[in-house]
Amino acid sequence: MTTKEYIDQYLNETQKIVETVPRGEIEKAVEILRRVKQEEGRLFILGVGGSAANASHAVNDFRKIGGIETYAPTDNVSELTARTNDEGWETTFTEWLKISKLKEKDAVMVLSVGGGSATTSLNIVNALKLTKERGGSIISIVSRSGGYSKEVSDACILIPVVAEERITPHAEGWQGIVWHLLVNAL
């Protein structure tokens, strides 16, 4: 495949995503975020790997542009690594959210390729269980089947798989597109 062919293929896949991304779920996410803002709740954004970098960028946008108090536990690498070392990876987000006194008027947003399962992203899975226990709202921007995030989210924006070999770049790229849409819809 030539470079030009690859570029065309990637952009054609992106167009397929544009045509099938679930607009109704995006609308639900906007309504949740408007409620969080109106009630002066907080938004906690969870992601690992490339999605953690996206979470950091999204925190800035939701705070500066969207006017919502927003945080990402992965932005504090000292606490993240201390918790991982002392308590284990699976509880890094739940213990952080407990200290932040997560409550009903708050929301958790998950940025993840797979959405978590019994064997992957257990820190996200456990944080979502805590969010449900505390009555908070859950928004997820995920791909593949959506994993555990899709099962428990109040709004799940599932980025469709259009090419198995490019799930991660499409999922992580579309996280940015969707959160920018959400921020500017507030």
Q: What structural domains and CATH numbers belong to the chain? A: 3-185 (3.40.50.10490)
DSSP conformation letters of the chain: --HHHHHHHHHHHHHHHHHHS-HHHHHHHHHHHHHHHHTT-EEEEE--THHHHHHHHHHHHHHHTT--EEE-GGG-HHHHHHHHHHH-GGGHHHHHHHHTT--TT-EEEEE-SS---SSS-HHHHHHHHHHHHHT-EEEEEE-TT-HHHHHH-SEEEEPPPS-GGGHHHHHHHHHHHHHHHHHHH-
Q: Tell me what pLDDT residue 115 has.
A: 98
Compute the distance between CA of residue 169 and CA of residue 152 in angstroms, rounded to an integer. 24
Return the pLDDT at 136: 98
pLDDT of residue 95: 97
pLDDT attached to residue 90: 97
Find tokens 């505390």 and name the residue. 134
The set of residues, in sequence order, having a beta carbon less than 8 Å from that of 57 and lying 6+ positions away, is 176
Residue pair 48/124 in contact (Cβ under 8 Å)? The answer is yes
Task: Considering only CA atoms, give the Rg of the chain.
Answer: 16
What is the average per-residue pLDDT within 66-73? 98
Residue 150: how many other CB atoms lie within 10 Å: 19
Q: Express as a percent the part of the chain with pLDDT over 70.
A: 100
Name the pLDDT band for 176 (thresholds 50, 70, 90): very high
Position 84 scores a pLDDT of: 97
Q: pLDDT band at 37, cuts 50/70/90?
A: very high
CA dist., res. 55 & res. 109, Å (int): 9
Average confidence (pLDDT) over 39-52: 98
Per-residue model confidence as pLDDT tens digits over 112-124:
999 999 999 999 9
Tens of pLDDT, residues 124-151:
999 999 999 999 999 999 999 999 999 9
> Which pLDDT belongs to residue 151?
98
Q: What per-residue confidence (pLDDT) applies to 53?
A: 98
pLDDT tens, residue by residue, 1-32: 999 999 999 999 999 999 999 999 999 999 99
- Please give the pLDDT value at position 66: 98
| Residues 21 and 170 sit within 8 Å (Cβ to Cβ) | no
